Amino acid sequence: MIKLDRRNFLKGAGAGSATCALATMLPGSLAALENAPLQGVGKEVASICEMCSTRCPISARVVDGKNVFITGNKEAKSFGGKVCARGGAGHSLLYDPQRIVNPLKRVGERGEGKWAEISWDEAYEMMATNLNRIKREHGPEAVAFSSKKGSLSGHFFHLAKAFGSPNTFTHGSLCPGAYVIAAKSMFGTKLKRDLGNSKYIINFGHNIYEGINMSETRGMMKAQSERGAKLVVFEPRFSVVADKADEWHAVRPGTDVAVALALCHVLITDKLYDQSFVERYVVGFDAFAAEVKAYTPEWAEGITDVKAKDIRRIAHELSAAAPHAVVDFGHRATFTTEEFDMRRAIFAANVLIGNIERKGGLYLGKKAKTYNKFAGETVAPKLAKPGVEGMPKPTAKRIDQMDKQYTMVWKNGGVYQSILAATLEAKPYQLRGWVMSRTNPMQTMTDRAKVLEALKKMEFVAVCDVYISETAAYADLILPESTYLERDEEIADKSGKNPAYYLRQRVVETIGNTKPSWQIFKEVGDALGLSKFYPWENMETLQLAQMKRDDKALRHIREKGYVSYGKPLMLREPSMVSKFIDTYANARTADDDGTYASALKFKTPSGKIELSSAAVEAFAPGRGVIRYRDAQLKRADELYFIQGKVAVHTNGATHNVPMLANLMADNAVWIHPLTAGRLGISHGDAIRLTSSVGSETSYAMVTPGIRQDTVFAYMGFGSKNKELVRASGKGLHCGNLLPDRTAPVVGMNLHTTGVKVEKV
Ligand SMILES: Nc1nc2c(c(=O)[nH]1)N[C@H]1C(S)=C(S)[C@@H](COP(=O)(O)OP(=O)(O)OC[C@H]3O[C@@H](n4cnc5c(=O)[nH]c(N)nc54)[C@H](O)[C@@H]3O)O[C@H]1N2
Ligand SMILES: Nc1nc2c(c(=O)[nH]1)N[C@H]1C(S)=C(S)[C@@H](COP(=O)(O)OP(=O)(O)OC[C@H]3O[C@@H](n4cnc5c(=O)[nH]c(N)nc54)[C@H](O)[C@@H]3O)O[C@H]1N2
Ligand code: SF4
Ligand SMILES: [Mo]
């Protein structure tokens, strides 16, 4: 037996790749699959994974026209040439006979499960008739368009714009929105974290050994196993990250903001912060310092259950390791209504230790334009965009922009769940149509019952997916997209400390009558009479336009799949700057201290880091300065219900993928032994969770690895859609327990609520 101690885990984790016997994957029944051509497209095709939205660079092996193996693209060093378990299961999705391979039209009642296969022409006709009717009678703004951001959302939102609707939504408010908006309000832009070079990492529920992002996961593994980094974790449950940490503090759900503010309090009060950094780059320090004066570790202990002496010690350790230290700002930012201040308080701690543009800290992405400017030459080509003239300007305001506190939200995907109130209560005006692509709100938005009601009230619903997802089950029309292994897409920017591009390329011939969504939505545009907004022919013309017709450069990217240009650059890191200057003869001259510190500017109104912000105060009065507020997530007689990702599934997406469904089909509820004992619950018992909006049953996993006042479940299970045969009815449906609650300023859909637990 392999002993899974911390060292072994760190060496082995995220090193997965998977094969499968095709014979067992391809039942004879489905003609479309049997008839898939056998000629190969190549032996190893470099492409991009889409088993989750991390979109890692992959290399896919093709034998006799069939994809048999997927691993990481070796060109992409930070990903270690590896994929995770889900990435290795791509062909299990590709060859799943339960995939949809023809457009489907609803023939029974919504959700009844009666479908007719139709031609693409009929599907486009349905789109045109319904969407143009709603537009004629109620204006284009009555149709909402939503899609997971990335890959093909650009084409989808292009259709929305051409159609004239301002109401486009990404998964932003269900996932990263709060930290992106917090970063924009303080730094004017998103920031990245350099976990791999960090010597001290503070982690507030960033679950990256389960909620995997290959390069970040491997970065943290590297920091821990090669650099001996210390990892301090605040988590209500003993996650895999907590298990691999040096310290685990079981923080009370939704109160991380108090810990982060107390860390800032100690950094300032004990004069541990980087005063010269603050003087040079920060505005709003005094107002922040005055506010955090009250946020002592003792105050925080009373709110968070984290010992004051630990908070004090951790602040001292953090500053001793600075600047090669980081307070990780997390990923899914939906723990509390106070996400804006929680993520800002975390960023503030980073600012105080002056780790911006230092190894092991936070940094700004270096895309071609920026990098070339520093180098004084063209190191990386800049990607061009095909110009489209005369796009209509929407005349209506977005449904989530009537309330000015959400000023910063819409460019980051909007308040997705505002579709519910607009549809059900005409707030702020009535929506009547909903077109979706690569999104499954019935599973991933909160309050499933309400989402269902909204879907039923819509005059027209169209969904583009690879399965009849729980949401697609309630559509009028389903548009079957080809899986990522059958698609060509545009060159995508993957720049980090230096520029990098990568490309999704078709690995095998298309199965059935599926199409890539860029093509689907271009053809929908044609059917809607919007052809003039599509001046490109196909993906080939788009890729060439991106590369300004430089055929050679395009071929290079196609051959490698992933191309990185130049060397990593962090502006305040002397060793990196000196290597950079040695490489490029015309590089910008260094400052006296051997860095590019004088070039570090921020796209904020002041050009500096805004620790407190007048701009925020203007659209959200009382929010200019970071402040603690009680989130009130549950009643006293309830338990906190929290969720997280599991390593072998993605959100609400992969539970029907054969290989992954075989690995894990349902989700137990984690509950503390003392709590379980009090409720008469034993390990394995069937239990019921009841919240203000719903009730779900599953079974108990009794474990000391969770707070006594909290229960936990992996998300994405318990689909109530019988078309997802392997997932249907298995486990607990998280979205069915969560009320529809939106956090101020950042518009996040809140994922923590109170539940009552009982034995069934
Ligand atoms: N295997 C796998 N990998 C994935 C995904 C997947 O579905 N599966 N999804 C991808 C996506 S879309 C994302 S956004 C990322 C998500 O990445 P993360 O945000 O890192 O992961 P999650 O598991 O959603 O949630 C984080 C953790 O927060 C804890 N938690 C809950 N409430 C609180 C709280 O109040 N305070 C603290 N400190 N912790 C709390 C949960 O127990 C959980 O362990 O993962 C990505 N990678
Ligand atoms: N309760 C609770 N809710 C959550 C979370 C949580 O932890 N707890 N996590 C949140 C997070 S972090 C996120 S990011 C969201 C994610 O929620 P969503 O944005 O809804 O994303 P997914 O569930 O990843 O996938 C959505 C759909 O994409 C389909 N799909 C997969 N590949 C393709 C493709 O190539 N083309 C097309 N057209 N469709 C495809 C899948 O079949 C699936 O139906 O969920 C959020 N919701
Ligand atoms: S993290 Fe795994 S599933 Fe997600 S893109 Fe990377 S390899 Fe694919
Ligand atoms: Mo996410």
Task: Give CA–CA dist 468/245, Å, rounded.
Answer: 40
Using alpha carbons only, what angle is made at residue 690 by residues 689 and 691, rounded to the nearest 5 degrees? 125
Atom of ligand 3 nearest to the CA of 213: 1
How much is the pLDDT for 25? 33
How much is the pLDDT for 623? 97
Are the C-beta atoms of 561 and 573 separated by less than 8 Å? no
- Please determine, looking at this structure, whether the domain spanning 6-94 carries the CATH number 2.20.25.90: yes
Atom of ligand 1 nearest to the CA of 204: 38
pLDDT in tens, 166-182: 999 999 999 999 999 99
Answer yes or no: is the C-beta of 76 below 6 A from any ligand 3 atom: no
Distance of CA 744 from the midpoint of ligand 4 (Å):
19
Answer yes or no: is the C-beta of 57 below 6 A from any ligand 3 atom: no
Query: What is the number of other CB atoms lying within 10 angstroms of the CB of residue 679?
Result: 16
**Confidence class for position 484, pLDDT limits 50, 70, 90:** very high
Over 70: is that where the pLDDT of 8 sits? no
Torsion of CA 205, 53, 416, 102, to 10 degrees: -140
Answer yes or no: is the C-beta of 418 below 6 A from any ligand 2 atom: no
CATH domain 639-759 topology: Barwin-like endoglucanases (2.40.40)
pLDDT in tens, 265-302: 999 999 999 999 999 999 999 999 999 999 999 999 99
Task: Look at the alpha carbons of 348, 350, 353, 356 in this order and tell me if their dihedral is positive or negative.
Answer: negative
Half-sphere exposure of 73 (CA within 13 A, CB side): 25
Distance of CA 348 from the midpoint of ligand 4 (Å):
23
Residue nearest to atom 6 of ligand 3 (CA): 56
Over 70: is that where the pLDDT of 313 sits? yes
Answer yes or no: is the C-beta of 655 below 6 A from any ligand 1 atom: no
How much is the pLDDT for 385? 86
Atom of ligand 3 nearest to the CA of 83: 7
Q: Where are the domains of the chain?
A: 6-94, 192-363+601-619, 639-759
pLDDT in tens, 391-409: 999 999 999 998 999 999 9
Q: What is the mean pLDDT of the chain?
A: 94
Ligand nearest to the CA of 258: 1
Answer yes or no: is the C-beta of 650 below 6 A from any ligand 1 atom: yes
* Residue entry with tokens 């819409």: 410
Ligand nearest to the CA of 174: 2
Over 50: is that where the pLDDT of 97 sits? yes
Answer yes or no: is the C-beta of 55 below 6 A from any ligand 3 atom: yes
Over 80: is that where the pLDDT of 24 sits? no
Distance of CA 652 from the midpoint of ligand 3 (Å):
15
How much is the pLDDT for 258? 98
Over 90: is that where the pLDDT of 455 sits? yes
Atom of ligand 2 nearest to the CA of 53: 24
Over 50: is that where the pLDDT of 4 sits? no
From 645, 654, 714, the mutation candidate for ligand 1 (largest count of ligand atoms within 8 A of CB) is 645
How much is the pLDDT for 13? 40
Percent of the chain residues past pLDDT 70, beyond the cut: 94
**Confidence class for position 30, pLDDT limits 50, 70, 90:** very low
Report how far apart, in Å, the C-alpha atoms of 203 and of each of 200, 206, 330 are: 10, 6, 7
Atom of ligand 3 nearest to the CA of 82: 7
Q: What is the pTM of this model?
A: 0.95
Atom of ligand 3 nearest to the CA of 86: 3
Task: Give CA–CA dist 346/524, Å, rounded.
Answer: 44
Report how far apart, in Å, the C-alpha atoms of 185 and of each of 121, 379, 406, 620, 630 are: 46, 31, 12, 12, 22
Distance of CA 723 from the midpoint of ligand 1 (Å):
27
Atom of ligand 2 nearest to the CA of 652: 23
Distance of CA 575 from the midpoint of ligand 4 (Å):
35
**Confidence class for position 42, pLDDT limits 50, 70, 90:** low
Answer yes or no: is the C-beta of 208 below 6 A from any ligand 1 atom: yes
Answer yes or no: is the C-beta of 52 below 6 A from any ligand 3 atom: yes
Atom of ligand 3 nearest to the CA of 85: 2
From 56, 79, 217, 659, the mutation candidate for ligand 3 (largest count of ligand atoms within 8 A of CB) is 56
Answer yes or no: is the C-beta of 55 below 6 A from any ligand 1 atom: no
Cis preceding linkage at 97, omega within 30: no
Ligand nearest to the CA of 515: 2
Atom of ligand 3 nearest to the CA of 51: 3
Dihedrals φ, ψ of 322, to 5°?
-60, 150
Query: What's the whole-number mean pLDDT along residues 364-381?
Result: 97
From 412, 439, 484, the mutation candidate for ligand 2 (largest count of ligand atoms within 8 A of CB) is 439
Pairing of strands 282-283, 609-610: parallel
Report how far apart, in Å, the C-alpha atoms of 78 and of each of 216, 377, 564, 579 are: 8, 25, 11, 20
Distance of CA 86 from the midpoint of ligand 3 (Å):
6
From 149, 207, 630, the mutation candidate for ligand 1 (largest count of ligand atoms within 8 A of CB) is 207
Ligand nearest to the CA of 71: 3
Task: Look at the alpha carbons of 35, 58, 25, 123 in this order and tell me if their dihedral is positive or negative.
Answer: negative
Answer yes or no: is the C-beta of 207 below 6 A from any ligand 1 atom: yes
Pairing of strands 325-328, 609-610: unpaired
Task: Give CA–CA dist 346/191, Å, rounded.
Answer: 12
How much is the pLDDT for 675? 98
Ligand nearest to the CA of 88: 3
Dihedrals φ, ψ of 683, to 5°?
-50, 130
Atom of ligand 1 nearest to the CA of 649: 8
Using alpha carbons only, what angle is made at residue 613 by residues 611 and 614, rounded to the nearest 5 degrees? 155
Answer yes or no: is the C-beta of 205 below 6 A from any ligand 1 atom: yes
Beta-carbon contacts of 174 under 8 Å, excluding residues fewer than 6 positions away, are 334, 416, 417, 444, 445, 748, 749
Ligand nearest to the CA of 748: 2
Residue nearest to atom 8 of ligand 3 (CA): 87
Residue nearest to atom 34 of ligand 1 (CA): 253
Answer yes or no: is the C-beta of 241 below 6 A from any ligand 1 atom: no
- Please determine, looking at this structure, whether the domain spanning 192-363+601-619 carries the CATH number 3.40.228.10: yes
Distance of CA 242 from the midpoint of ligand 1 (Å):
13
Answer yes or no: is the C-beta of 416 below 6 A from any ligand 1 atom: no
Answer yes or no: is the C-beta of 51 below 6 A from any ligand 3 atom: yes
How much is the pLDDT for 152? 87
Answer yes or no: is the C-beta of 212 below 6 A from any ligand 1 atom: yes
Ligand nearest to the CA of 335: 1
Ligand nearest to the CA of 215: 3
Beta-carbon contacts of 478 under 8 Å, excluding residues fewer than 6 positions away, are 100, 103, 104, 115, 462, 463, 464, 465, 468, 472
Residue nearest to atom 4 of ligand 3 (CA): 52
Atom of ligand 1 nearest to the CA of 640: 32
Ligand nearest to the CA of 653: 2
Answer yes or no: is the C-beta of 640 below 6 A from any ligand 1 atom: no
Answer yes or no: is the C-beta of 652 below 6 A from any ligand 2 atom: yes
Distance of CA 86 from the midpoint of ligand 2 (Å):
14
pLDDT in tens, 528-575: 999 999 999 999 999 999 999 999 999 999 999 999 999 999 999 999
Distance of CA 416 from the midpoint of ligand 4 (Å):
13
**Confidence class for position 493, pLDDT limits 50, 70, 90:** very high
Ligand nearest to the CA of 332: 1
CA neighbor of 692 nearest in space, from 641, 747, 746, 760: 641
**Confidence class for position 150, pLDDT limits 50, 70, 90:** confident
Distance of CA 207 from the midpoint of ligand 1 (Å):
5
